[in-house]
Structure 1
Amino acid sequence: MKEKWQVFLCIGIHLVLFSSIFDIYFTTPLVHGMTPYQLPVSPPAKRLVLFVADGLRADSLFGGHAKSETAKYLRKIVEDRGPWGVSHTHVPTESRPGHVAIIAGIYEDVSAVTKGWKENPVPFDTLFNESRYTWAWGSPDILPMFSKGATGDHVFTDMYEPDMEDFASKDASVLDTWVFEKVKEHLQSAGNNETLADMLSKDKIVLFLHLLGLDTQGHSHRPMSREYMENIDLVDKGVETVVNEIEEYFQHDQKTAYIFTSDHGMTNWGSHGAGHPHETLTPLVAWGAGLRAAEKTTVTAPQDDYSSEWGLASVRRTDVNQADINPLMSSLIGVPFSMNSVGLLPLDYLEESDSFKAHALFTNALQVTEQLMVKEKQKLDMTFSVMARPFPLLPASEQSSRKDNVKNLLMEKEYEGAINAGRELINLALSGLDYYQTYDWLLLNISVVMSFLGWVACIVIEILQHHTDIVPQRNAHDHDGEGLLYILRENVRLLLLLAAVSVFLADRSSPPMYYVYCFLPFILWSHVLSQRLVFGDALKYLMLNQQLMAAVMAVCLGIIAVQMLVLSFFYREVLSIGLVFIGVWPLKTILRETDKAIVYTWLALCLLVAVFPLLPVVGREANYYYVYLTAAITIGIAGFFLYRLKSTWVTDGQHTQTKFVCIIQIAFVCTSALVVFTTVSSLGRKQGLPLISRILSWTLLGLSLVLPLFSSTFLLSRLLTISLSLVSVYILMSTSYEALFCLSLCCLLCCWLHIEHRVAQKQGAPLSSADFKPSHRYTMESMTRFLSFSDLRSAYFYIFFIMLSFFGTGNIASINSFDPASVYCFLTVFSPFTMGALIVLKVLIPFILVSCAFHAVNVTVQVPTRSLFLLVLLMSDVMGLHFFFLVRNTGSWLDIGTSISHYVIAMTTNIFIPILYGLSMLFTTWSIPVTFSSKAHVT
């Protein structure tokens, strides 16, 4: 019972440390209670038409014309009619954050991820909300976010059915054609509907066209494909048609402004989510009322290498941040600036007078400083007055004086000075918002670091006390009430400290989790200090037994080994180097003389698996021949093992049952390969996902996860059935060589098990007779041996193989990016949660294989599970602490996002290691008996 509570305590502490990163870096930037500000001068446009081509890269639009006649209409606008540039997006480059940045002027509140996808789960102001009327057409995944978040009943949406978002569609451009047709119908119906016509005649009108076809084409066929480029041309023609119809309807009143942009780009291999330039650089084209004409420039050289082939060096280019589009649109139609916007009005896009620009920028400054004032008040009201730290560059008094200065410059018609002063005020206010966003970081960082160190110290104490013979017996027993309750009852000083911390946090009106973050280090370190004599006893023992140098060497090697895992997060090639070292390790042991076959097999498999981290990331190019080859090799290996194991199996019903299971699983592998082949062939012919393929895929998924439970629990036979089941599922979700990687990893894990069995010198007990069930092996009570230095190797191999499973065929972008090709055998209609769950399962399958192998090693070496897991936790927590120090909040958004993702991965691993091991226990020890006759056999 005590061990179970310790497992829950371990998971709980890691959940706290994991959640800390969200309270530090992912807290909502939104504040409420601001006063809206509107332009004090007449706007140039009565209506705005916003085109968002989902998934369109800047180079695909601007550079595509250099290779063909693609996008002739938009190209002509860039060259002759309006300003253009590149809109720089933030990470993650996904549809929701991109649209929120464009329409609301904020970079997505990360808390929205846990609250929903299609609707607006957090209250923020938008351009649509401030408009008089907004009509929107497009995807049901985007439009509801802004219609249901708007106050009143003035945002109208028209959405196609979700089933139309089919990645296996014959022609995904129908999504865009549908939008263009609906806009045409809308304008036509206004001719017969006086109410609608009256609404359209008003000012402050927004028409929003969300065009999803390019994103779907890019995922399905890649951005360099013919289908993607043809869809660009279709969008270009559709934009031209809509513009002509709008101009004709409004009788060319010259009061319509047009904005064409994209929410995010896409990599060459059809994914997005990370920070590659192909994902973060999107096009921006503007023309119409209030927008300047295209300007020729004498600069002939390209502005950067990325745009060298666009052929637009002679036309002035103006880049913006994606959130800057929001204040531009607000100023064009004269609606109040979105109250949560952090965009800076790009004046170079406007044609209006200096007076208009100066007043518009000052309104933008008032809107941003209003946010700063509210946020400053919230933070300072939650802090002791003597400890308050206002933003030093722009205190409240400085804000007032700067605003008055701009007002005076406007009254004196010193517009250039007003523009410069307004821009400086906005930049200072944005810095102030960042300052208050990170106001509590110092306190939280100190608390988390001290919790990490305290927890690591607690693990070391637990290992020394109960799993080694280093600490004398007088220190090895537990107090009857030892634990959290014992500390709270016995340590009065701790209670007083916690009370003081509570008063401090209560005065700041801190969130409940802040109490947890601040209490945890005090509790952990109180336990460490109460057991501080353990470290002294350990040092004495090592010195008396002349093992101090060996212990120091083991610690140093452990640190180097853990650092290698840390480097693997940045450079996948490090895993290949690690596999080489792991491969040659048995050559330095007695096994080189006694078990040459297994030693050289191990070396060969290590070198084979070491090739995969050196290959390009899976997903860039699909190659299903690797998938079919994997199926063929799997069938051959399974048949070989069935033949070899036949001689060691006892002819009873249980093993007969296992043979039947293996034969069924071999049939499943064949079926999986056939399903992949038929699905790929059908999609290649643009005939959609065959119904039979979908049914078989889901059936194989369900049965494969249950089928191993029908086999015997003897170690080798159960591992064979588990591997066959998971590999057959993995084949269904593979597009290239990752299927071969999974199979190679299975073979390597099998060889690892044999190596550990030989090293543990258990030749007297054949591996084929080992059983996962406790009734057939040593019970925990009989497994009383202490940890040895060799157990450090087993624990490290487990963590290494977990990291290899994650990074062996991909990198951090494989988590951020979305490539639906992996789940085409199951579904092709866009469903983010179902597709996401399947992709997570694909990631978890190698983890489960490694955990099952580790459980088998644990049975083989006969060491208590708890002992090895403490070593695993110790190493993984050192990694977690390392990544916590590497988390960045400065530099590029890619660097910031990657550093946070690394910490999240490390901590998620710590949380899921006990869960994965528990899942492996289910796969290896549970069985569903079926009665067979002892004479039953397979012919």
Structure 2
Amino acid sequence: MLLYVAVGLLVHLVFFASIFDIYFTSPLVHGMTPRFTPLPPPAKRLMLFVADGLRADKLYELDEDGNSRAPFVRTVIMNEGSWGISHTHVPTESRPGHVAMIAGFYEDVSAVAKGWKENPVEFDSLLNETRYTWSWGSPDILAMFAKGDSGNHIFTDSYDASSEDFGAHDVTKLDTWVFDHVKEFFHAARNNQSLLSKLNEDKIVFFLHLLGIDTNGHAHRPTSREYSDNIKLVDKELKEIESTVKDFYGNDGKTAFIFTADHGMTDWGSHGAGHPLETCTPFIAWGAGIRLPQKVSAQKFDDSYLQEWKLENWKRQDINQADVAPLMAALIGVPFPLNSVGIIPVDMLNTSDLFKAESMFTNAVQILEQFKVKMTQKKEATLSFLFTPFKSLSDTKQANILRKARYYIKQKKYDEAVSLCRELIDLALRGLAYYHTYDRLFLASNVVLGFVGWISYASLLIIKSHCNLTRGVSSEAKNPGRLLPCTFVAIGLFVAFLLLIQACPWTYYVYCLLPLPIWYAVLREIPVIQGFVTLLLTFRPRCFLGYLLLFILGVEVLVLSFFYRYMLTAGLVAFAAWPLITPLWTRAKRTSLSWILFCLLLAVFPLLPVVGREPDIFLVVGAGLLVLLLSLFVVTSVIKRNDSFINEELVLHLLQMLSIVLSVCVAYGTHKSLLEKQGLPLLNQIVSWTILASSFVTPLLSPPVLFDRLFSILLSSMSTYLLLSTGYEALFPLVLSCLMFVWIHMEQETLQQSVVSCKQKVSTIQLACNTDVTQCRDLYLDDIRRAFFLVFFLVTAFFGTGNIASVNSFDPSSVYCFLTVFSPFKMGALIMWKILIPFVLVMCAFEAVQLTTQLSSKSLFLMVINISDIMALHFFFLIKDYGSWLDIGTSISHYVIVMSMTIFMVFLNCLAQMLTTKKLSLCGRPKSHVT
């Protein structure tokens, strides 16, 4: 069993990792020549303001009194510059957003996990190409672009990371710090000749990163007064900085200003996904080289914002976030970032038509060079007879378009030249995508082949363990000889040779060779396959078809639940009807009623909002009180059950009740303190971490009797979960656990109707024994239902309260009892543990089900993995690389979620076994229990 688990874990890790090689690979190539517009630029310097987490609608809209929150910005829009919406890509996080704006490409999603403060991959950026860059703001962002500054021309000034405190009294200080330091910088420069000479050079950038709005959004939500006041503060300071810069340079008209954001934010204070509130950010440009406002009578957009913002008469020009980098490069005359895929919005330029045409021509050549390098790399790494070039942009077509564009520029047909360059850019970008995904079909086919082989092999193992299907099969059929292994070895050597001569990455060997041993293991079981087919032929076709359709329907409900959470409600309602169509209703009416009640209660949660709910501390307190009432009932039963009033079990329950009380007090006290802007009390923080640490130990002190141990696990989990809750989700583990307790009883009742006898009561079953009971009984169709129940409950645990949204859309409010200073990995670990707690509760209940049903843990676990793998294969075919970024991100994340769940199941199974079977004795004294 241990060997099988290890091999299965390895196989699933490969399947999981494949998605990153197929869909999450870095788009960067190297070896291009820097390109810049060969004409004098309109600006000598540029000031880039990035308001982290600023939504477009919150900046542009009027408040309830009809006044603008940002009067200076509105004045710029109406009198001085161009404006619009900058459309970001997923993931809508700070790092990818800044890379897109300053480097001009959309960073590989996996790079966010590889490095937060530094570059996991080397890339060129606008700041690398400047003569000098000065930047102020968060150390997390500034460090990304300062790393590898060989020219000693990028200067950074950042505050301490501990200043990024979501619970601080006034987080606008993060922005005032930046503005104050910029003003001091220009004031000091007047008396510093060396600095003054640098500031009077051309090709310089000032980068101001403003984190206050993002922090206020997380802490108080974007609809709050704090968020709006922070926007007003930034607007006021923008005006002062513009005045300071103009005064310093004698109003020479050579400064360009750009104000934008890296990402937006949902109404509930999170970001990371593809909601329009997260992907729509403001973009305002004014100053040197920027076109003045254009009055229009009407303009059409897919949204109705213009009328709401009262800006319908000023031309709105939307751009993609990556377009900001080439725009800034053109304004100050530096080479375009080498890996930029942005397109200059020439309509925003207030320059000559020649400059616009030359800039667009340079833009096209710069992107075309990336295409050429990408094509050359792929061509050199592929056998000539296997290589299929991108036919829409041949070498001849490239030369013709460039020659024709240059001819149009000479003939002063600038509009035609710009249009032709746009066409070339579009073709080059399509070509880049073609070569970037060149191996996708090949790799995906191998992964699918391995998937199908693994599912087949796991199914054969289950059948082989419980059915003697090889009786009467000849020994030659059972032992196919050397032909089969020799054939697979020959195929493996041939595949490895093809990969070797193409210099493929080592991961390609894994994906291409892994299906071979899997299918070899499958084909070795041909006698079992033959026996199973024979058995199916003797089975009643109508009955078999009915079971098959029911199984397919169940899997489809699980798949649909990833798209529509209310499908979980439908499934739970169907589960509630289960006792009514079986003898359980007449045999165990009280247990059946409990099952129906808790199924219907749990069915309510998927209908509640996933995210976006306002914090409601009273629901958290109410959940804690319900747990305490349940604990009092259990303590009363413990006192009645034991002769001695004071015993180890009772003391443990009382300590866990005290932990629940402390959790409720800390959660309420922290919420109140943050509401009053007094920060996170140190005592609350210490108690929270202590409760978290103790929750891993206290269940192991309880007796290894089924009911007592499971209840101890519930109390320990709830004490932590309450600290990580902000609203109704605090009730979820309690309802889920009650259903799990009833499930265990229901499964024992089903055994009373079968040939399997079960004489022990649930309340007295010992969990200390961890033996595989393969020989206890054969496999029944009812066991497939048990495996399906587990997968369904795990999916419900994942989506029941929308916890997955806390992973995809970062929302730190649930970890405020533990820390408020920004720390992505600590906060991420706490949110992940919050998500895992319902998983642990379900897996512990499943351990008990395995024991009460006397079924082989190996076989039941194999069925669970098989159902999960069928879902994963389903999602693998649903993965998209086209359409909106929300569609692409959602389709990939579904596969990643299911594969993560499958891999986690192995670890959770081990954790559940440890929590349910291990016993720590106080004072080193083991305690015996009557069974």
Question: Could you state the TM-score of these two structures normalised by the residue count of structure 2?
Answer: 0.96
Q: Is the 8 A contact 1:373 1:396 kept in 2?
A: no
Q: Is the 8 A contact 2:95 2:112 kept in 1?
A: no
Q: Is the 8 A contact 2:85 2:319 kept in 1?
A: yes
Q: Is the 8 A contact 2:269 2:811 kept in 1?
A: yes
Match of 1:234 in 2: 233
Q: Give a deviation string over 1:24-69, Cα, whole Å, max 9, x none.
A: 1101100001000011100000000000000000000111457433
Alignment of 1:755-774 (within 5 A): 755-761=746-752, 764-774=759-769
Match of 2:909 in 1: 917
Match of 1:639 in 2: 632
The offset of 1:669, in angstroms, is 0.3
Could you tell me which amino acid in structure 1 is paired with residue 674 of structure 2? L
CA distance in 1, matches of 2:641, 2:874: 47
Match of 1:368 in 2: 367
Match of 1:531 in 2: 525
Q: Give a deviation string over 1:676-720, Cα, whole Å, max 9, x none.
A: 011011111100000000000000000111111111001100001
Q: Is the 8 A contact 1:323 1:342 kept in 2?
A: yes
Alignment of 1:386-785 (within 5 A): 386-470=385-469, 472=471, 491-544=485-538, 546-648=539-641, 656-761=647-752, 764-774=759-769, 779-780=771-772, 783-785=775-777
Could you tell me which amino acid in structure 2 is paired with residue 691 of structure 1? L
CA distance in 1, matches of 2:803, 2:698: 32
Change (3 A) 1:611 1:218: same
Q: Is the 8 A contact 1:676 1:732 kept in 2?
A: yes
Aligned pair 1:832/2:850, yes or no?
A: no
Could you tell me which amino acid in structure 1 is paired with residue 610 of structure 2? V
Match of 1:7 in 2: 5
Change (3 A) 1:35 1:301: closer
Match of 1:43 in 2: 41
Q: Is the 8 A contact 2:133 2:154 kept in 1?
A: yes
Corresponding residue pairs, total:
924
Match of 2:790 in 1: 798
Change (3 A) 1:572 1:478: farther
CA distance in 1, matches of 2:302, 2:565: 33
CA distance in 1, matches of 2:97, 2:32: 24
The offset of 1:232, in angstroms, is 0.2
The offset of 1:474, in angstroms, is 6.1
Q: Give a deviation string over 1:541-589, Cα, whole Å, max 9, x none.
A: 2434x45543333222111101100000000000000001111101222
Between 1:732-741 and 1:780-789, the stretch displaced more is: 780-789
The offset of 1:487, in angstroms, is 10
CA distance in 1, matches of 2:101, 2:883: 22
Could you tell me which amino acid in structure 2 is paired with residue 541 of structure 1? L
Could you tell me which amino acid in structure 2 is paired with residue 764 of structure 1? K
Could you tell me which amino acid in structure 1 is paired with residue 5 of structure 2? V
Alignment of 1:276-355 (within 5 A): 276-299=275-298, 304-355=303-354
Match of 1:877 in 2: 869
Q: Give a deviation string over 1:348-398, Cα, whole Å, max 9, x none.
A: 110101100000000001110010000000001111111111111102222
Could you tell me which amino acid in structure 2 is paired with residue 923 of structure 1? L
Match of 1:216 in 2: 215
* Secondary structure at 2:139 match in 1: coil
Could you tell me which amino acid in structure 1 is paired with residue 217 of structure 2? G
Could you tell me which amino acid in structure 1 is paired with residue 40 of structure 2? S
The offset of 1:935, in angstroms, is 12
Could you tell me which amino acid in structure 2 is paired with residue 584 of structure 1? A
CA distance in 1, matches of 2:876, 2:773: 38
Q: Is the 8 A contact 2:47 2:207 kept in 1?
A: yes
For structure 1, the residue ranges without an aligned partner over 5 or more in a row are: none
CA distance in 2, matches of 1:396, 1:468: 63
* Secondary structure at 1:134 match in 2: strand
The offset of 1:503, in angstroms, is 1.6
Q: Is the 8 A contact 1:812 1:898 kept in 2?
A: no
Could you tell me which amino acid in structure 2 is paired with residue 833 of structure 1? F
Q: Give a deviation string over 1:796-847, Cα, whole Å, max 9, x none.
A: 1110010000100117533211111100000000000000000000000000
Could you tell me which amino acid in structure 2 is paired with residue 879 of structure 1? M
Q: Give a deviation string over 1:66-111, Cα, whole Å, max 9, x none.
A: 7433100000000111010000000111110100000000101234
Match of 2:838 in 1: 846
CA distance in 1, matches of 2:846, 2:617: 31
Q: Is the 8 A contact 1:273 1:279 kept in 2?
A: yes
CA distance in 1, matches of 2:812, 2:7: 37
* Secondary structure at 1:77 match in 2: helix
Q: Is the 8 A contact 1:63 1:307 kept in 2?
A: no
CA distance in 2, matches of 1:357, 1:724: 68
CA distance in 2, matches of 1:737, 1:221: 19
Could you tell me which amino acid in structure 1 is paired with residue 815 of structure 2? V
Match of 1:822 in 2: 814
The offset of 1:536, in angstroms, is 2.0
CA distance in 2, matches of 1:318, 1:928: 67
Between 1:6-15 and 1:110-119, the stretch displaced more is: 110-119
Question: Could you state the TM-score of these two structures normalised by the residue count of structure 1?
Answer: 0.96
Change (3 A) 1:386 1:652: farther
* Secondary structure at 2:400 match in 1: helix
Between 1:413-422 and 1:77-86, the stretch displaced more is: 413-422
Could you tell me which amino acid in structure 2 is paired with residue 8 of structure 1? A
Change (3 A) 1:684 1:886: same
Q: Is the 8 A contact 1:302 1:313 kept in 2?
A: no
CA distance in 2, matches of 1:361, 1:446: 40
Q: Is the 8 A contact 2:921 2:927 kept in 1?
A: no
Change (3 A) 1:349 1:686: same
CA distance in 2, matches of 1:813, 1:90: 17
* Secondary structure at 1:799 match in 2: helix
Q: Is the 8 A contact 1:273 1:818 kept in 2?
A: yes
Q: Is the 8 A contact 2:267 2:612 kept in 1?
A: no
The offset of 1:476, in angstroms, is 12
* Secondary structure at 1:676 match in 2: helix
Alignment of 1:374-385 (within 5 A): 374-385=373-384
CA distance in 1, matches of 2:20, 2:870: 20
Change (3 A) 1:594 1:642: farther
CA distance in 1, matches of 2:925, 2:408: 98
The offset of 1:469, in angstroms, is 4.4
Q: Is the 8 A contact 2:663 2:719 kept in 1?
A: yes
Could you tell me which amino acid in structure 1 is paired with residue 117 of structure 2? K
CA distance in 1, matches of 2:787, 2:235: 58
Change (3 A) 1:471 1:908: farther
Match of 2:174 in 1: 175
CA distance in 2, matches of 1:885, 1:149: 41
The offset of 1:742, in angstroms, is 1.3
Q: Is the 8 A contact 1:303 1:313 kept in 2?
A: no
CA distance in 2, matches of 1:59, 1:746: 42
CA distance in 2, matches of 1:88, 1:932: 63
Could you tell me which amino acid in structure 1 is paired with residue 325 of structure 2? N
Between 1:521-530 and 1:683-692, the stretch displaced more is: 521-530
CA distance in 2, matches of 1:335, 1:49: 15
* Secondary structure at 1:137 match in 2: strand
Q: Give a deviation string over 1:325-369, Cα, whole Å, max 9, x none.
A: 110000000000000000000001101011000000000011100
